[in-house]
């Protein structure tokens, strides 16, 4: 058997600066190209603007600042992003995708949400995967394999939430909040003995939104953690905390009052109360809306 021989033509540049064919507008080749590019800060996240306030913003941000954002059209920023956070969040996104794909494969009759094709022109909402697994997009020809978290809204309080993984058992829904953690440290996976309060609160809100939407919901829900570091056993990799909704449902009351106050302000009423005594408290120093906040009526 004879093999064809191919001659590869090219050359090794001895000095990049002497090769006029090279265009290096950012002067990357004079140093370490990728390191130089990563010295450029990432895109900063803005506040999730829209008709509804996401429950994670309601939990994590000042209600007066949110109201000022809507009423006075002032920019409210999200978390200050750097590449270190970007790397961490990307790991969490990849882990969540892995879990979603596994549940889709192993329990297509139970995982519930929205489903998209590759080109995103075909979408079906509020179905289990087995109900859409045979469908194809007429534009791109792919199946509806892209999972979209179940998105819920409530007009009474103008809040919304997206459930990480919703499982459906007949007419009964079960809410799962999925988180990934670093291994060590006081706030890491190994030290974890129960669901973190902020994660429990998010999941509580999702169950509440499900109830308010008229669905039949399990009285329990799960906050599920995955260790970002390798574990030799599966028990070294996961912790699942099953929580009774009624045990903590009262913790939602204060946040619902905040949501109602924001809604009243958006409808022309008074702004929510100012939580800071002056511009020099630690919370006000970190707030980009503090100057206008203290120039407005209480």
pLDDT in 10s for each residue of the chain, 298 residues: 666 666 667 666 666 555 567 888 888 888 899 999 999 988 877 778 889 999 999 999 999 999 999 999 988 876 788 899 899 999 999 999 999 999 999 999 999 999 999 999 999 999 999 999 999 999 999 999 999 999 999 999 999 999 999 999 999 999 999 999 999 999 999 999 999 999 999 999 999 999 999 999 999 999 999 999 998 899 899 999 999 999 999 999 999 999 999 999 999 999 999 999 888 888 888 888 999 999 987 6
Distances (CA, A) of 177 to 162, 207, 226, 242: 10, 10, 11, 10
Quick one: residue 177, left, alpha or beta (phi over 0 = left, psi -120 to 50 = alpha)? beta
Contacts of 15 (CB under 8 A, 6+ apart): none
**Amino acid 14: pLDDT:** 65
Q: Is the pTM of this model over 0.75?
A: yes
Name 112's bridge partners: 128, 166
**Amino acid 15: pLDDT:** 61
CA–CA gap between residue 113 and residue 27 (Å, rounded): 47
Distances (CA, A) of 68 to 53, 142, 159, 240, 264: 13, 44, 17, 38, 12
**Amino acid 178: pLDDT:** 97
Counted residue by residue, the chain has a size of 298
CA–CA gap between residue 192 and residue 226 (Å, rounded): 11
CA–CA gap between residue 119 and residue 104 (Å, rounded): 20
**Strands 172-181, 165-169: pairing kind:** antiparallel
Name 166's bridge partners: 112, 175
CA–CA gap between residue 121 and residue 117 (Å, rounded): 7
């Amino acid at each position: 058997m004879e093999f064809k021989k191919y001659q590869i033509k090219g050359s090794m540049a001895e000095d990049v600066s002497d090769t006029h064919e090279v265009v290096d507008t950012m002067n990357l080749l004079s140093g370490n190209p990728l390191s130089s590019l990563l010295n450029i800060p990432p895109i900063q996240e803005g506040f999730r603007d829209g008709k509804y306030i996401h429950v994670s913003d309601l939990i994590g941000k000042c209600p007066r600042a949110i109201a000022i954002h809507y009423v006075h059209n002032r920019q409210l920023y999200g978390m200050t992003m750097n590449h270190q956070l970007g790397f961490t969040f990307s790991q969490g996104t990849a882990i969540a995708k892995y879990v979603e794909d596994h549940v889709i494969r192993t329990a297509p009759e139970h995982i519930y949400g929205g489903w998209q094709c590759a080109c995103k022109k075909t979408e079906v909402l509020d179905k289990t995967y087995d109900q859409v697994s045979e469908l194809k997009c007429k534009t791109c020809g792919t199946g509806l394999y892209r999972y979209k978290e179940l998105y819920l809204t409530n007009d009474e309080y103008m809040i919304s939430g997206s459930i990480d993984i919703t499982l459906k058992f007949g007419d009964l829904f079960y809410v799962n909040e999925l988180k990934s953690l670093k291994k060590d440290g006081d706030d890491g996976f190994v030290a974890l003995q129960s669901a973190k309060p902020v994660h429990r609160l998010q999941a509580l809100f999702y169950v509440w939104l499900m109830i308010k939407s008229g669905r039949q919901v399990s009285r329990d829900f799960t906050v599920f953690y995955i260790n970002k570091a390798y574990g030799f056993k599966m028990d070294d990799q996961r912790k699942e905390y099953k929580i009774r909704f009624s045990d903590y449902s009262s913790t939602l009351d204060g946040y619902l009052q905040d949501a109602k106050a924001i809604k009243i302000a958006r409808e022309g009423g008074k702004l929510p109360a100012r939580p800071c005594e002056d511009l020099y408290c630690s919370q006000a120093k970190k707030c980009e809306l503090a100057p206008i906040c203290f120039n407005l009526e209480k």
